[in-house]
């Protein structure tokens, strides 16, 4: 079964509180999502394998650590996942970025895919799917299906806020995908919004309604 990690670093928790706050406007919301994503990047990369490299310091030769192994791919789910990309790239500047466009039909709450553009070598990369919200889980579930169909072998999911319903769906359908969260909320309302949540992530990020 997928592991679920709540990244409880105080800086992440503090910034998520401000992100939730209805008084936080678009500019500040965007900056906070960017900062939290960078902090979460720090935590989600904790298990990256290291290998030794021989280097010359100004005084001697040394065996020192560098990151080994597979390369990383960031996969934001459009639109709101876009807000998490720059923060991640601050710490992972060589990552490639693929995009999956999905929106949730407001009546059925089911995701509709409208765009997919991925790095050609996704099967060799450790992929991190980015979306601020994991509500019913339909969007993330479909995005992961889409990546696996195209050959992805290693996938993590990173969200700012999740509902138990979304976690359950990912654990049932994608037990190999670990989930990294800023916070786990109580439930969904009748329109599929996370309670207490932060409202509509895309609208708050881009100033739409």
Q: Which residues are catalytic?
A: 104, 108, 200, 203
Token pair of 33 as six digits? 């999502």
- Shortest CB 12 distance to ligand PRP, Å: 19
Given 76, 83, 111, 197, the residue binding ligand PRP (CB under 6 A)? 111
Q: What is the spatial distance between Cα 36 and Cα 207, in angstroms, rounded to a whole number?
A: 19
Given 87, 166, 182, 197, the residue binding ligand PRP (CB under 6 A)? 166
Q: Which residues inside 111-140 make contact with ligand URA, applying CB under 6 A?
A: 133, 135
Binder of residue 137, out of ligand URA, ligand PRP, none (CB less than 5 to 8 A by kind): ligand PRP
Kind of pairing, strands 178-184 and 4-6? parallel
Residue 197 contacts ligand URA per CB under 6 A = yes
Residues 6+ apart with CB under 8 A from 207: 26
Instruction: Find out whether the peptide bond into 204 is cis, omega within 30 degrees of 0.
Output: no
Q: Contact, 148 vs 125, CB < 8 A?
A: no
Given 41, 84, 100, 201, the residue binding ligand PRP (CB under 6 A)? 201
Given 70, 164, 200, 206, the residue binding ligand URA (CB under 6 A)? 200
Instruction: Find out whether the peptide bond into 79 is cis, omega within 30 degrees of 0.
Output: yes
Token pair of 153 as six digits? 């072998």
Which residues in this chain contact ligand URA in the complex, by CB under 6 A?
Answer: 133, 135, 192-194, 197, 200-202
């Amino acid at each position: 079964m997928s592991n679920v990690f709540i990244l409880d670093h105080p800086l992440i928790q503090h910034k998520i509180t401000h992100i939730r706050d209805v008084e936080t406007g678009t500019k500040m919301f965007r900056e906070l999502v960017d900062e939290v994503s960078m902090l979460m990047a720090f935590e989600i990369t904790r298990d990256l394998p290291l290998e030794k490299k021989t280097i010359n310091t100004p005084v001697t030769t040394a065996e020192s650590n560098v990151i080994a192994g597979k390369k990383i791919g960031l996969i934001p789910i459009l639109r709101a996942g876009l807000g998490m990309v720059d923060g991640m790239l601050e710490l992972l500047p060589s990552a490639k970025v693929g995009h999956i466009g999905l929106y949730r039909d407001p009546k059925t709450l089911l995701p509709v895919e409208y765009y997919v553009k991925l790095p050609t070598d996704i099967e060799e990369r450790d992929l991190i799917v980015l979306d601020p919200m994991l509500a019913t889980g339909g969007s993330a579930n479909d995005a992961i299906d889409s990546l696996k169909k195209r050959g992805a072998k290693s996938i993590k999911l990173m969200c700012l806020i999740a509902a138990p319903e979304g976690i359950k769906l990912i654990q049932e359908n994608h037990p190999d995908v670990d989930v990294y969260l800023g916070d786990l909320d109580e439930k969904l309302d009748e329109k599929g919004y996370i309670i207490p949540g932060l409202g509509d992530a895309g609208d708050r990020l881009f100033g739409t309604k």
